[in-house]
Amino acid sequence: MVALLNAIKFNGGGHINHTILWCNLSPCKSEPSCAFKQAIERDFGSLENMKNQLATTSVGVQGSGWGWLGYNKLAKKLQIATCQNQDPLQATTGLIPLFGIDVWEHAYYLQYKNVRADYVKAIFDVANWNDISARYEAALK
């Protein structure tokens, strides 16, 4: 039974995380909504500070995992967290996932020559802020 639970967590978490990731990315430029940008400025000081903190945290994941920007419903604030392997953010931390960065090697080893920091920095260039903002607004409800 324990082995089955681990398989469900790994495979189910992988499905959840990647479903969010594919929606979080877009080749079209966008900006955070006004409400989401205000929340970022309240909780991180600026969009650049949030990006830097999320990038640093994501690059620091040991081995395979995810860096996340999530919403803490109890504290009513944005937070950065990491999850190992395919662990889903909400089930692991209670945070509602808004923006996920896959830091498994498969996400960046070919294009970024295994330089995780370059990949994480570049992911903000394809961030779909419309999707991330909509996730934030849904989390407030």
SS3 content of the chain, % helix, strand, coil (to 5): 55, 20, 30
**Residue ranges of domains in the chain:** 2-139
Q: For 3-61, write each residue's pLDDT tens digit.
A: 788 888 888 899 999 999 999 999 999 999 999 999 999 999 999 999 999 999 999 99
* CA nearest neighbour of 69 among 117, 141, 128: 128
pLDDT at 109: 67
CATH 3.40.50.10480 fits 2-139, yes or no: no
* Mean of pLDDT values over 108-129: 89
* CA nearest neighbour of 87 among 61, 115, 118, 113: 61
Q: For 52-97, write each residue's pLDDT tens digit.
A: 999 999 999 998 999 999 999 999 999 999 999 999 999 999 999 9
Instruction: Show the tokens assigned to 95.
Output: 């945070």
